[in-house]
Each structure stands twice: as structure tokens, then as C-alpha cells.
Amino acid sequence: MRKLRSIGRHRRGAALPMLALGLLPALAALGSAIDMGRVYVAKSALQAGVDAAALAGARAFAVTDDGPTSRGAQVNAYFYGNFPLNTLDSSGLVLTPKFSTVNKRNQTSVTATVNIPMTFMRTFGIQQQAISAVAVAEIQPHPLEIMMVLDNTGSLKADLPASKGSASKTRITALKDASRSFLDILYQGADNREDLALGFVMYDITANVGKLLPSSMVEQRFGFNDLLATQFGGGWPTQPLAWKGCVFDDATVPDLNSTLTYRDPGAWDIDRSLPGEGAHPKLEPYFIPPFYTPKEKFKADKPTNKPGKGRPGNDSAADPNSEYYKYSSGEADFNLYKLHPQFADTMLNYDAYGDRFASNPYRRWFYQYYLGLNNGAAGVGDDVITQPNGSYFDPDTMDWDFDTNSGTAFRVNYDRIPRFQADWKDAAVYRVNPQGGSTNNGGANKTDVPSPNWQCPEEAEPVTYGRSKSYWLNVVQNKNAAIYPANGTLHHAGLLWGYRLLVRDDVFKRTNPVNEDAKRALVFMTDGETALGTAPNGYANRTWTFYGNYGDAPISKNVGDLTKQSELRFSKTCASLQAEKNPPKVYIVALTTTDKATLNMFEQCAPGHVYRTSDAATLKAAFDDIASELVDLHLVK
């Protein structure tokens, strides 16, 4: 016993064996940690793969064929894009998708299992580790009513920076691509979806909604949009002076109160009410008058001593043969169109309706633009504006007030307009060039002219159920284009009419095939801030917009506040939309927009749902995200 105790107390020569024995569990722990780290990385990649696959399969839930866009093919494409075969030397991969409908909810379940080889753990007889991941994506189909409001201004022909791995695109091309992806998600890969209603409003400095309105809501203008306009030339659209459908803004008052929820008396341009309803005045049809006028008159008009607004005048010493307004500087084709010779005299000199345009949309502006050329009774023989009997109309002592239809009667001598025979052309009916914006080249994008509908986008699409994805893809491709040249951007025009066409289903009727209230949304896209000047190409008072002649400062007494007032109307319109009983959710996609005031305006309108995008990839991602939210596409497991 004493010997044994002695041996037990002996320590010499035992350190190394004991160290070796102690290292074994440490090495095993280290090897296990390294192998488990590989398992963790593989597990994360596998989960990302099934998550992406489940969402992709859900987007294409309705496509059950064997094609490349089918739900099964989409599951495979997205899974293997995230977890390629042999990832981390894995083996035995089994991918199992499952598609089912439970309580009207379309579910896509994706399960994946795979073996990950061990390295250090093989020492302990563990050759591989099996891992698995599962994801379930769900779409709850329900009726959807979505209004798309898309910027169609000329700036959308500009190039975007190239996205990683792809070539540069113009802004409108990227918008079309993003819109197609948006539709793919909404339709879940199919071509038809009965519980989905879409509408589109394209805008620039106005919106084309007039032909969607009952005739009682639009003023009739002699020879332009009344019955007479269709009685010669075979009827619209072959009759080149016929109205295309764009509108001026509703009757309003300048300088609105800044309180967004306050409804300013007389401001009919900020809420859901429609022209011709109750006290709401009818709309004026949008047109750009034919004008070919010299420089502005700098001296005050007599006898009122008010500033000369819009009138060319002898006081400015303008040369009537050279100093004329042109749509683009240096352009040989001035794009001036003639009225129909059979009706020109009647249109310009017969007061058929007695309203503020005095019978037609042209007479007022011929008077305003050409009266200033009168320069003494001795030269009355070439005056455009005379008294009805041909005698001299003295601009210093005579005037006509179009608002009260009073003053000295006058006649427009249409054929006396300077250079009329040499430069004026027969009016042309045109469509917006569907390729507008496909290249950053002004000549290739140009919209045909001359026309009284110059700068008018294509007709809006009312919110409608049951139309195929193919129908809307055609709208995106062919009715949505950069209008070039363009005179500016008025967001208010697009938002106002997108709002009205969406919520006024009592007038713009639709048939919801599902016994369930529709979820409503307005998706607004633009590439810039409110942009409109009063002196395009260096000449003042020649910008025709949603608000009429912008140079007349129609929405503010101060020309410098025009942009501020336009943006205030946008904000008030949005406040009206947000006050609806079942307010549509607003999403705003701002492409390359950097103006702080504009972005603040957008955030106020769509808090938490403003997407600031900078290239084609982020633009598409924004539209995809909005579509996924609208169809309630999300992972539930």
C-alpha cells in the first residue's frame, strides 16, 4: 500500500501524455466548430434559396405549364441561382416544391435537403451532416383597383447610368421594363385575372381624360370639339383640328391657402368633384392656339396703363418678318397650323356661345397676339385686328374684355397674319410617337406637328376589371412615351385625374366580380420636380399648360410663386385623397429626383412609401416591391 501511494505521488515523465490526453477533446471541439461553421453557412445559403424560390413560385402561381415562365421553372431558377449544385461540396440535394390553395390563399411551399461533408468530424466517424430548409410564400387573392400615373415628359429620353451587369437604358425604357415586371407580379404569371382592375394616366403639362367624361362636363368649342368639328374632313381622327381629349385645369382661384385640409372657395382643382356637377364649372378642352408673333410689348397698354401681357407691339420695335416665336430655336419648321379655310372666318368672327372664349378657343388669342401690330390708321390695310367694317382698331383707345364680353367689337383678318402663306401649314392629326424616349436623341423622339393638340399625351385608361395582361402591356409599350419636345412637368395634372378616375366609380363605372371591397392604390412615377417656366425659348407668355397660358400667372398673382402654387395644389389634392372614406394607398416612385422640396412634398403625400431610385435596377426593384405588397405576397414560414 505504501508503494502504491508513492507511485501515485510521482509526477516526473507524465506531463506530455497528460497534455496529449487533454488536447484530444480540445481538437475535437475545434474541428466540430469548423465543420459546424460550414454547416451554418450552407444552412443560410439553403434558406436563402428556398425563400427566393417560394416567392418566385408564388409570383407565377397561375402558370402551370412546362414552359420557362411556369411556377415550377421559376422555383428551380431562383433556388439554384442562390444555391448552385455542389455548393460547399454538398451532395444528395432534393428540392421539393408544393403548390396549394387553402382558404382562398395561394401557397407555394419549397423544401430542400442536402448533405454537407465533414472534415474534422470524420475522425470521429461522422462523414456528413444532413441539413434542410423550408419556406412558404403566400398570396391572398382579393380584388385590387390600381391607378398608374406615369410621367411622360421629354426628360424621360435621358440615359440612366448602367446597372451592374447591364447596359445603360433611357428612363422611359427602364420605366417600361419596370412596368412589365409590375404586371407580371400582379397577374401571378398568368394573362388573365378577373379580380384585378387597372387604369393608367399619362401626363406632362396636361392629362388626356376629356373623352372619358360625359359630354355635359366639357365646354363645346366652335369648330374644335363641337358637332361642327366632325362635319368636315370625315370626322375624328381624320379631322386635324378635332380635339384629342386633353383638358385645361378646373376653374380655380390664385394663391390658395397653405392649410392642406382647407377647401378654398372657387378652387375646383383639388378634390374628387367633377366638372359640371352642381356649381363646379365645366372643363375647357385643352389646345395650343396657332400663333406667330413678334417680341413682347414692353410699354404699358393704354388706356389702362397695365403691363402689356402677351401682346406684341410696335413699341418694342419688333421686326414682323424675323422676330417671331418659335417652338425650338433655329428650327426651320415653325409648326404653325391653319384653321380650316371653310370655317376660319366663322370661327374667328362669330360669337356663337358668348362665354369667356367668345365663341371658340382661338379668337381671344389672335386678338391678344396681333393687336399690338396696329400702328396707325394709315396702315390699316395690313392689320390683323380691325373693326368689323374694316376701319382702324386703335389699341390706345379701344379694347375688348373677354371676361365680360364687352368693349369695342373687332374682326380678325386671318389672311393678314405676317408670313401666313409662307410658313403656316395645314393642321395635322398626330399620335404620340410610341418610340419617344427609346433613344436619347431629340430628332428620333419628336412628336409630329403642327396640331392644336401639341404636347397632349395619349388618352388615359379608366380603371377596368377583366382586361388581360397583354392589353396592359400594349398600353405600357405604345401609349406611354417621352413627349419631346416638351414644355415642362406638372405633377398636379397627373395626380388630380388619377385620383378622380380611381375613386369616382359612380361615374367611371367598373364591375367588381368578387363580393368583397376592393383594395385601392395609386402608383405615381416621375423623374423630376415641377418644372415649368413662363418664357420658353426666350419668349414670354407662350407656354400652354394644364393651367392655360402660364405666362398670365393663372394660379398666382406673383409669377415667382407659380411653382409653389402648383405644388400646393398637388399637396391639397393628395390631402383630399387621404380624406376619402376608404383612402387608396399612395406609392410614389421618384427616379433621379433630387429636389428637396419635391421629395418633401412626396413624403407628405405618401409617408413611408416614396421610393428614391437612381437607375434601371432600383426602378424595377421599387415597382416589384409595390406589386408584391399589393398582392399580399410574403413569406409566412
Signed CA dihedral, 169, 170, 174, 180: sign only: negative
Mean pLDDT, the chain, as a whole number? 83
Q: Beta partners for 109?
A: 98, 136
Burial of 208 (0-12, 13-18, 19+ CB in 10 A): buried
For 200, the 3-state DSSP assignment is strand
Choice among 61-65, 184-188, 299-303, 521-525 with the minimum mean pLDDT = 299-303
Q: Beta partners for 198?
A: 146, 464
Query: 398600353: which residue's cell?
Result: 475
pLDDT value for 299: 46
Nearest to 102 by CA among 148, 147, 136, 67: 136
Same domain (yes/no): 557, 587: yes
Q: Percent of the chain at pLDDT above 90?
A: 47
Please report whether residue 291 resides in a domain: no
How far is Cα 392 from Cα 376, in angstroms, rounded to an integer? 8
Same domain (yes/no): 323, 220: no
CATH code for the domain in which residue 609 is found: 3.40.50.410
Q: Last residue of some domain: 121, 139, 157?
A: 139
Please report whether residue 302 resides in a domain: no
Q: For 7-10, which contacts have Cβ atoms below 8 Å and span 24 or more sequence positions? A: none
Asked whether 362 and 340 are in contact (CB, 8 A), the reply is no
Please report whether residue 351 resides in a domain: yes
Same domain (yes/no): 41, 149: no
Same domain (yes/no): 91, 184: no
Choice among 304-308, 452-456, 527-531 with the minimum mean pLDDT = 304-308
Please report whether residue 488 resides in a domain: yes
Same domain (yes/no): 384, 490: no
How far is Cα 449 from Cα 443, in angstroms, rounded to an integer? 13
Same domain (yes/no): 475, 552: yes
Same domain (yes/no): 197, 149: yes
Please report whether residue 418 resides in a domain: yes
The string of pLDDT tens digits covering residues 554-573 is 899 888 898 999 999 999 99
Same domain (yes/no): 467, 343: no
Asked whether 109 and 100 are in contact (CB, 8 A), the reply is yes
Same domain (yes/no): 604, 501: yes
Q: Last residue of some domain: 120, 139, 158?
A: 139
Nearest to 52 by CA among 81, 88, 87: 81
- State which residues form the domain around 601: 144-284+427-635
Nearest to 95 by CA among 116, 117, 73: 73
How far is Cα 207 from Cα 246, in angstroms, rounded to an integer? 5
Same domain (yes/no): 35, 58: yes
Q: Confidence band (pLDDT; 50, 70, 90) for 232?
A: low
Q: Confidence band (pLDDT; 50, 70, 90) for 188?
A: confident
Fill in the amino acid letter for 539: Y
Same domain (yes/no): 45, 117: yes
Q: Confidence band (pLDDT; 50, 70, 90) for 319?
A: low
Name the E strands within 270-352: 337-338
Same domain (yes/no): 448, 498: yes
pLDDT above 50 for 353: no
pTM over 0.85: no
Total domains present in the chain: 3
Please report whether residue 9 resides in a domain: no
Q: Last residue of some domain: 404, 423, 442?
A: 423
pLDDT above 80 for 32: no
The mean pLDDT value for 331-356 works out to 65
